[in-house]
Amino acid sequence: MGLKKLGRPLRSVFTKLLLVMGSMGLLLYMGIGGVYWHVIGESRLQVYQENAVKYTDYLIRELGSPPSHKRAQDITQETGLGIRFIENGPGWTTSELVPLPESLHSWRWRENNGVQFARRYNKMIVVRDTPEGKFLFSAFPDETMMMGWLVTLMVVVGLVLFGAFVTIRWILRPLRDLARGVRAISAGDLTYRVPEYRTDELGRLTRAFNHMSGRIQMMLAARERLLLDVSHELRSPLTRIKVALEFLPPDDTRSLLRNDVEEMERMITEILENARLHSRFGRLNKTHFDLRELLEEMLPEYDGRAPGVRLAHFPDQVPLFADPEQVSTVMRNLITNALKYTPADSAPVEISVESQPLQTVIHVRDFGQGIAKDELELIFEPFYRTDRSRNKNTGGYGLGLSLCKAIMEAHEGSIAVNSVVNAGTIFTLNFPQHPEDKLEKNLPAPAA
Using CB under 6 A, pick the residue from 366, 407, 410, 439 that binds ligand ADP: 366
Using CB under 6 A, pick the residue from 99, 319, 348, 398 that binds ligand ADP: 398
Q: Least distance from C-beta 339 to ligand ADP, angstroms?
A: 8
Count Cβ atoms within 10 A of the Cβ of residue 33 and give its class: 0-12 exposed, 13-18 middle, 19 or more buried. exposed
- Cα–Cα distance, 334 to 378 (Å, whole number): 16
Subset of 330-359 contacting ligand ADP (CB under 6 A): 333, 337-338, 341
User: Where does 91-212 show beta strands of DSSP type E?
Assistant: 92-93, 108-112, 115-120, 123-130, 133-139
Q: Least distance from C-beta 391 to ligand ADP, angstroms?
A: 10
Using CB under 6 A, pick the residue from 351, 371, 406, 408 that binds ligand ADP: 371
Q: Nearest 5 degrees, angle CA 444-CA 446-CA 447? A: 125
Helices (H) and strands (E) in the chain, counts: 12, 13
Using CB under 6 A, pick the residue from 56, 329, 352, 386 that binds ligand ADP: 386
- Cα–Cα distance, 135 to 83 (Å, whole number): 7
With respect to ligand ADP, which residue has the nearer C-beta, 424 or 446?
A: 424
Does residue 405 bind ligand ADP (CB under 6 A)? Answer: no
Q: Least distance from C-beta 383 to ligand ADP, angstroms?
A: 8
- Cα–Cα distance, 321 to 288 (Å, whole number): 4
Q: Least distance from C-beta 401 to ligand ADP, angstroms?
A: 3
Cα-based distances in Å from 75 to 64, 138, 206: 13, 12, 73
Q: Least distance from C-beta 361 to ligand ADP, angstroms?
A: 18
Residues 176-215, mask of contacts with ligand ADP (x by CB under 6 A): ----------------------------------------
Residue 142 Ramachandran class (φ > 0 left, ψ -120 to 50 alpha, else beta): beta
Does residue 362 bind ligand ADP (CB under 6 A)? Answer: no
With respect to ligand ADP, which residue has the nearer C-beta, 128 or 385?
A: 385
Does residue 389 bind ligand ADP (CB under 6 A)? Answer: yes
- Cα–Cα distance, 322 to 432 (Å, whole number): 10
Q: Least distance from C-beta 336 to ligand ADP, angstroms?
A: 8
Using CB under 6 A, pick the residue from 368, 405, 410, 430 that binds ligand ADP: 368
Collapse the DSSP code of 393 into the 3-class scheme (helix H, G, I; strand E, B; otherwise coil) and give the result. coil
Q: Least distance from C-beta 236 to ligand ADP, angstroms?
A: 24
Count Cβ atoms within 10 A of the Cβ of residue 102 and give its class: 0-12 exposed, 13-18 middle, 19 or more buried. exposed
Instruction: Please state, as a whole number, how many other Cβ atoms lie within 10 Å of the Cβ of residue 235.
Output: 14
β-bridge partners, 119: 108, 124
With respect to ligand ADP, which residue has the nearer C-beta, 415 or 439?
A: 415
Q: Please work out the total of residues on this chain that contact ligand ADP, with binding judged by CB under 6 A.
A: 22
> Which stretches of the chain bind ligand ADP, using CB under 6 A?
333, 337-338, 341, 366, 368-371, 379, 384-386, 389, 396-402, 425
